[in-house]
Amino acid sequence: MKLVFLTRLLCLAAFKPVLLFSQVALPLTPMLITSPYGFRNHPIKRVKDFHSGVDLAANRSIIYAVLAGKVISCGDHLMLGKLIRIAHGEIQSVYGHLSFIFPRQGDWVKAGEPIGISGNSGRSTGEHLHFSILYQNRPIHPLKFLLQLQNSEKGGGDG
């Protein structure tokens, strides 16, 4: 099961352009996971804690909106540094540790639209993108969410 999941993620990361299908995009390409979703040893606090998103390797990379939506907040956050939070109905996508933010709060963005540049802001050990998805304000696995969207856009799958 894990091997199938990782293989499908690698296939997603190879897609170019950034748009997977008409309505869904990857937050950046390629997608190399440097810290997974779930419990982990925190790289700064050195204790086990829950990581509400995934960290993706980045180097001054352009960051893209994964879905169309409204920017509900952007700016500085104590932990995530420069961040963007986009609402997509009951779903929110969060992009943290950016060096530059393109949209302003209240702007509408399209799937695949550039929204920022990766960075090392906030509490971070190096440049990367922290990417998370919230459903009804609770974190869910962001990569499984993208795979589910991919399957539903293709018109099938049990995701």
Every domain of the chain and the residues it spans: 2-153
- Where residue 104 falls among pLDDT bands split at 50, 70, 90? very high
Q: Is 72 left (phi over 0), alpha (psi -120 to 50) or beta?
A: alpha
- Where residue 70 falls among pLDDT bands split at 50, 70, 90? very high
What separation in angstroms does the CA of 152 have from each of 19, 69, 75?
Answer: 15, 18, 32
Mean pLDDT score, 92-103: 97
- Where residue 128 falls among pLDDT bands split at 50, 70, 90? very high
For tokens 């893209």, the residue is 64
Which run of H or E residues covers position 150?
helix 142-153
Closest Cα to residue 60, out of 95, 93, 100? 100
Res 10: pLDDT? 43
d(CA 20, CA 26): 7
CATH match of 2-153 with 3.40.50.620: no
- What the block records as the tokens of 158 is 């049990």
